[in-house]
Amino acid sequence: MRRKIIFATGNQNKLKEIRAILPTFDIISAKDAGISIDIEETGTSFRDNAYIKAKAIWDITGGIVLSDDSGLEVDYIGGEPGVYSSRYMGENTSYTIKNQNIISRLKDAKGNERSARFRACICAVLEDGSAIFTEGSMEGLISQTISGENGFGYDPILYLPEYDKTSAEIDPDEKNRISHRGKALTAMKKKLEEIYENTDC
């Protein structure tokens, strides 16, 4: 039987990726578990916010709760939008506008000055309330134009030189293999397997 895990996210795109990356788990969103709470992300790091999200759901459900806090760090603009990636320019602003804004802010940046990365921190709060963390990143350059239809968020502006494509142009399965989220979740799966040795984890 597949182990049930609640994933503390309201982001459907993340859920889709998480389910593809962890097919051996039955991943349930907080909403599907009947929980609808607004969790304020008051942390200043991906790790802090990942913990805040997982712990808030664990306080209600117990069991194992996973969460992801992630974002885009652009070096030329001091690491922005970083932990504020989903709130950058306002939560309801379209990603076409957000992405165009970042491209405009980098109009004078050349070559490696355009370096950027997606980062993800995955937190698991376990049955006993203890927390474990894994991290992953995916390096690239901010593209000159918005390009690609796959993925979500800032995928259309993170250019991956080794593929000569943006993160929104590569195949979704390929993204999951090399992405910040893919790496952090694969590392978390390994940690959970070690903890729950000889179970279906």
Catalytic residue numbers?
Answer: 69
Residue with tokens 């969790």: 39
74-95 burial: b if 16+ Cβ within 10 Å, else e: bbbeeebbbbebeebeeeeeeb
CB of residue 130 vs ligand ITT: minimum separation in angstroms? Answer: 21
Pick 40 or 200: Cβ nearer ligand ITT: 40
CB of residue 83 vs ligand ITT: minimum separation in angstroms? Answer: 7
Phi-psi region of 80 (alpha: psi -120 to 50; beta: other; left: phi over 0): beta
**Residues in the site for ligand ITT, rule: CB under 6 A?**
9-11, 14, 41, 53, 68-72, 85-86, 118, 151-155, 179, 181
Asked if residue 88 lies in contact with residue 81, where contact means CB atoms within 8 angstroms, the answer is yes
CB of residue 198 vs ligand ITT: minimum separation in angstroms? Answer: 31
Pick 68 or 169: Cβ nearer ligand ITT: 68
Pick 10 or 63: Cβ nearer ligand ITT: 10
Pick 5 or 151: Cβ nearer ligand ITT: 151
CB of residue 67 vs ligand ITT: minimum separation in angstroms? Answer: 7
Q: Which residues, at least 6 apart from 110, have a Cβ–Cβ distance to it below 8 Å?
A: none
Pick 133 or 152: Cβ nearer ligand ITT: 152
Burial class, 21, CB count within 10 angstroms (exposed 0-12 / middle 13-18 / buried 19+): buried
CB of residue 129 vs ligand ITT: minimum separation in angstroms? Answer: 21
